[in-house]
Amino acid sequence: MMAQIQQEDRINLNAKKFVMWIFIFTSFMLFAALTSGFIVYSGGSGHGLSVILPSSFRYSTIVLIASSVTLFFASRAAKRLEFEKQQMLLWITIGLGVGFLLLQVYGWYILAYKMQIYLVDPNATRSFVYVMTFTHLLHVIGGLIWLISALKGSIKRIPQVKNLYRMEMTSIFWHFLDIIWIYLYVFLLLNQ
């Protein structure tokens, strides 16, 4: 009976993991479409970005990379049944994720109030900075929800199979966010 329940859980978890990969693929396509739209518009209009990116975007990149490192170690702690260490590292990862969020919002503040670059701008290529970073930020909020779910599961001491599953799903999504942000940041740097 117990083996049958574990088999059903494994099948359900694999189906959910497949859905996660589909979501990641569609998100990747969304960001590819945004960057392609930027290239097409800027090439056709003759307008470049003409923006020096705020330094907070560089700092937020460092913070996001650090959060991926702490999440990696949290996953490793979960596999070793070091739940207190897992929870501490998840708290740090969440804190870094919130720090990334705040640095991005501060970057928008710099763009809007110091550089006078707005979402609706005569040079529409500048609007892409807001659209791309806001879309990524929405994904980060989703990632923070995953992180909080993984932390709650660890605190409640859910069965280890489910704990590891939550950590794996959270890691897949969070590392994807990291890769997408590095891609967007480098893309914007090359086009500034």
- The domain locations on the chain are 2-43+54-190
75: left (phi over 0), alpha (psi -120 to 50) or beta: alpha
Identify the DSSP state of 52: P
CA–CA dist 86, 108 (Å, integer): 33
Distance from CA of residue 41 to its chain's centroid? 26
Report H helices in the chain: 2-45, 55-79, 83-109, 125-155, 160-190
Q: Which pLDDT tens digits describe the chain residue by residue (192 residues)?
A: 444 445 555 557 777 888 889 999 999 999 999 999 888 887 755 566 677 889 999 999 999 999 999 999 999 999 999 999 999 999 999 999 999 999 999 999 998 888 877 777 666 777 888 899 999 999 999 999 999 999 999 999 998 888 999 999 999 999 999 999 999 999 988 887
Per the document, the length of the chain is 192
Task: Dig out the tokens for 71 from the structure.
Answer: 């999440």
Q: Give the predicted TM-score (pTM) of the model.
A: 0.86
CA–CA dist 65, 96 (Å, integer): 9
Name the amino acid, one letter, at 39. Answer: I
Domain spanning 2-43+54-190, CATH class: mainly alpha
Task: Dig out the tokens for 141 from the structure.
Answer: 């909020």
